[in-house]
Amino acid sequence: MSLRGEVCVVTGAGGFLGKRLVRLLLEEEQAAEIRLLDKQVQPQLLESLEDCRGDTQLTVYEGDIRDGEFLRKSCRGASTVFHIAAIIDVKDSVEYSEIHGVNVKGTQLLLEACIQENVVSFIFTSTIEVMGPNPRGEPIINGSEDTVYECALKFAYSKTKKEAERRTLEAHGELLQNGGRLATCALRPMYIYGEGCRFLLGHMGDGIRNKDVLFRMSQPEARVNPVYVGNVASGHLQAARSLKDPQKRNAIGGKFYFISDDTPLVSYSDFNHVVMAPLGFNIQEKLMYPLWLLYTVCFLMEMLCTMVRPLVRIVPPLNRQLVTMLNTPFSFSYQKAKRDLGYAPRHTWEEARKRTTEWLASELPKERERIRAT
């Protein structure tokens, strides 16, 4: 099935994954119109898409995901919505009301807009973090959609994405205004890397400040499976195609799928080193501090920040949940997405690594200059 001639909405279109998905839609689907919905869309994005635009109309919708009328206008006449927009926060630096408003309320309002405006397909970008890891750091190795895991989510980000995912999947089969039915599904990507990844840039900046030695925050045995941004975009496209297929629509509707690829299992810190070693970066051999000490320091910092929060909001640079996430083996298979959606990684690990390293190389001089200037 194809989205050719249809109207697609991409929320978070100006972000890391959103930009990649828009380009993929232009290159492969020849949609009649793609609506780029975001709080702000840089003019450079539209310019960068001219080489693959063809006859597809690109329309920018700038506004607040919490504005129901704005969402209705954005969805009017559309057939497929890719909901990527979210606040990503692994340090609990954003007030809960703000992150809940965007991640949960925004998703609910968008679902309601789809029902009111007769949008038939809704693909939600979830995250591996709705699974955990739990505070005990219990590992999952090559998990699947059927894996049972006792999880008590701590991050506001994890909690709100889990709730938004739940609402999305429960909306499958909702009656549209025209008598049709809404079909929904959710994708849970692993940690996404590639050109434009702000987390990789941040780690590279920290390494520059540390005389080109990357900090080790993960034990080597805490292996995860990061996923390349181009493959995540491909997973979204396959999900949309499958929801259009009458034979697959009800079979996959209301379900979630893990999206990974053939990137080798590696710890978060060692992954940073793999893509930055060709640029001359080394990595610390051992953790900066023993895990028990990191947990203790984080606990004390969290208690202190809680005590002074009525007066001032202080965000510690590290917390116990982040330390747990960085040091828990946590990997998942994409085999169900392959079977049900026809998903397969279109970019090999070698290609993904090469592209990521080349992008980091292009950013390295600017990052060094920025750090020298501060």
> In this structure, is residue 53 part of a structural domain?
yes
- Domain enclosing residue 11, as ranges: 7-196+225-262+331-347
> In this structure, is residue 11 part of a structural domain?
yes
DSSP structure class, residue 218: S
User: How many independent structural domains does the chain possess?
Assistant: 1
Q: What is the reported pLDDT for 218?
A: 95
- Helix or strand or coil: residue 366? helix
Write out pLDDT tens, residues 148-197. Answer: 998 877 788 999 999 999 999 999 999 999 999 999 999 999 999 999 99
CATH number of the domain within which 149 lies: 3.40.50.720
> In this structure, is residue 318 part of a structural domain?
no
**Averaged pLDDT for residues 216-244:** 96
Strands 80-83 and 330-332 come out as unpaired
> In this structure, is residue 281 part of a structural domain?
no
**Averaged pLDDT for residues 304-331:** 86
Determine the longest span between alpha carbons in the chain, in angstroms. 63
For the cut 80, the answer to whether the pLDDT of residue 1 exceeds it is no
> In this structure, is residue 235 part of a structural domain?
yes
Q: Please give the Cα distance from 59 to 252 (Å, whole number).
A: 30
> In this structure, is residue 310 part of a structural domain?
no
> In this structure, is residue 124 part of a structural domain?
yes
Q: Mean pLDDT, the chain, as a whole number? A: 93
- Catalytic pick from 61, 149, 157, 193? 157
> In this structure, is residue 186 part of a structural domain?
yes
Is 289 a residue of the active site?
no
The model carries a pTM of: 0.95
Alpha helices, DSSP H only, in the chain? 16-28, 43-48, 68-75, 96-100, 106-116, 156-170, 198-209, 229-244, 249-252, 268-276, 291-308, 320-326, 335-341, 349-373
Write out pLDDT tens, residues 78-132. Answer: 999 999 999 998 877 888 899 999 999 999 999 999 999 999 999 999 999 999 8
